[in-house]
Structure 1
């Protein structure tokens, strides 16, 4: 445990919701290659249902914020994506992270409660950087924020997440359209929760 109550998660502390094509720990990093064609999505617009993407999950207490960091250098093709999965069950989950769409990195969130919705915000200036996603529960909602190594925190979503227990969270990666996408995750932390929607999270 470090200052501000920050706890670095060991990659071996998580359990794969769905295993990736390959994963390996190198130094402090976790390198993940997701299998082509796997994803998370429920019904809306497309009609299909996917919940077979790889996600490394551990118990998530609602009184603790969770953060995941990863490098963007390998993100080049449509729908290359990685970030943070918040998982309550097969019908209630949120995936949030960076996804390549329209040729540029986008901050993406898919909020699912039986049906999925999808929001995007372009961040072309983040290309090639290390990105951190953060989730913190407040009352019946989760506050999702993101930053890069050279850009400050941005609040990207406030979504309903009212489950008092039975929640899991951790890094995820998907490659719906191509083989050979590798994500380098650099950090998985539990830390102090947000105190206010309009204040930045506690410093590291």
Structure 2
């Protein structure tokens, strides 16, 4: 079952068995400064404690098709230090990517043919880093990002979604599972 405390409660939340249907408010987003010139900290995230040596997997259905619709996993220390990773619809295609923020945001992405599929994002935190991996269905894990993150401090993590450009985005989150961090960076 998916649990936690809401950072910026969404427009609606409905439990459907073990799934959670989350409807994002128009204008919701996480971003800091870079290129766009604004700071946004109004995305919806269901956060739980995320310790220094831990991992979390968040699963959801990538079934959206409007500019900047997005869902995935957020790792957050505060409004200036966080990582969001997931699938975002951008420029006519679903993009698998990550935004790493330490005062300012950066963004990396690449198109994926995952329309309508269940996607799982995994954040593994160990030492001074968070390793982000993703997969569609039961496919192989793909490493998305190895990002710096302050060591030894309590953070929070959980599923997130945003709809910067429109009303009516509803994301089906199908699971969230904590666990130990990855044993190795490369298989």
TM-score category (smaller protein): over 0.9
Q: Tell me, yes or no, if the aligned pair for 2:127 and 2:152 is still in contact at 8 Å.
A: no
Calculate the TM-score normalised by the size of structure 2.
Answer: 0.96
1:47 aligns with 2:40: no
2:101 counterpart residue number: 112
1:6 counterpart residue number: none
1:166 counterpart residue number: 154
Query: How far off is 1:195 after superposition?
Result: 0.8
Counterparts of 1:29-68 in structure 2, within 5 Å, are 29-68=19-58
* 2:182 counterpart (188, 194, 198): 194
Which structure shows the higher strand fraction?
A: 2
Q: Tell me, yes or no, if the aligned pair for 2:52 and 2:154 is still in contact at 8 Å.
A: no
CA distance in 1, matches of 2:36, 2:62: 27
Structure 1 unpaired stretches of 5+: 1-9, 200-204
2:67 counterpart residue number: 78
- After superposition, the CA RMSD in angstroms is 1.1
CA distance in 1, matches of 2:139, 2:88: 17
Structure 2 unpaired stretches of 5+: none
Number of equivalences: 187
CA distance in 1, matches of 2:134, 2:36: 27
Which structure shows the higher helix fraction?
A: 1
1:7 counterpart residue number: none
Query: How far off is 1:38 after superposition?
Result: 1.2
1:148 counterpart residue number: 136
Q: Tell me, yes or no, if the aligned pair for 1:97 and 1:109 is still in contact at 8 Å.
A: yes
- Runs (4 or more) in structure 1 with deviation over 6 Å come to none
